[in-house]
Amino acid sequence: MRSVSLVTAVAVAFASMPVGAQEQAAPQIVPYELPDPATLAMPKLDFTPTPADEADFDKYFYFHREGTGFAEAYSDIRECDALASGSSIYLDGSAAMAGAMANYGVLAAGIGSAVGGLIADAIFGSAARRQQRRINLRNCMGFKGYQRYGISGELWKDFNFEEGHGRKKEGERDDALEIQALVASGPKPETKELGL
């Protein structure tokens, strides 16, 4: 009799759950309005590259496509940014874990691997995620017909962002993407095209 009461109580509790879930308010969607490009400031792009700058053109670059409007450039950059930042890299374990488990036990090996993995990811994972994001962004924008141009790291930081340890806040991200779209749809750069 007691088990029947318990089963009935659990069934009533589960039956009432969908009703409670339906009463929750849906998250409010805030529409995004594309700014007027005339209100945005074009960043400084002209500079005399040093050999060190040229060596870093795989990290520091911007895009441009002839005959592209601001709205189209923003749409393309936003799409490629979403594609590029949606991926993650996690480093694999090693055979050392099996040896540690045999010598010290599963708990010690698990704790040591977790701590070691966190440290290794903080050191190597961030750089690998940034590199993967840059490559994906270059491939996506290249597929859409944009040309890539090199820029110094200092000038690049004025209208770009890097994310290796986490995603940028949407406001900062949108501001940077708007300026990138302004550059991509602006006057054709006079510097050399880099290709992919």
pLDDT in tens, the chain (196 residues): 555 555 555 555 555 555 555 566 666 666 778 889 999 999 999 999 999 999 999 999 999 999 999 999 999 999 999 888 775 443 444 555 555 556 666 666 666 666 776 676 666 667 788 888 889 999 999 999 999 999 999 999 999 887 766 677 778 888 999 999 999 999 999 888 887 7
Residue 173 lies in a domain: no
8 A C-beta contact, residue 194 and residue 149: yes
Widest pairwise Cα distance in the chain: 86
pLDDT at 109: 62
Closest CA to 50 of 160, 180, 137, 155: 155
What is the reported pLDDT for 90? 39
pLDDT score recorded for residue 89: 42
Does residue 106 sit within a domain? yes
- Residue at 142 is within a domain: yes
What is the span of the domain harbouring residue 86? 52-153
Could you give the CA distance from residue 74 to residue 184 in angstroms, rounded to a whole number? 8
> Look-up: residue for tokens 């589960």?
14
Q: Is 133 within a domain?
A: yes
57, part of any domain:
yes
Supply the pLDDT for residue 91: 41
Count of domains in the chain? 1
Residue 31 lies in a domain: no
Provide the token pair at 58. 């795989």
pLDDT of residue 88: 47
Find out whether 156 and 60 touch, Cβ atoms under 8 Å.
Answer: yes
Domain membership flag for residue 130: yes
Q: What is the pLDDT of residue 92?
A: 45
187 in a structural domain: no
Return the H-helix or E-strand segment holding 149. strand 147-150
DSSP conformational letter for 61 = E
User: CB–CB of 141/77 below 8 Å?
Assistant: yes
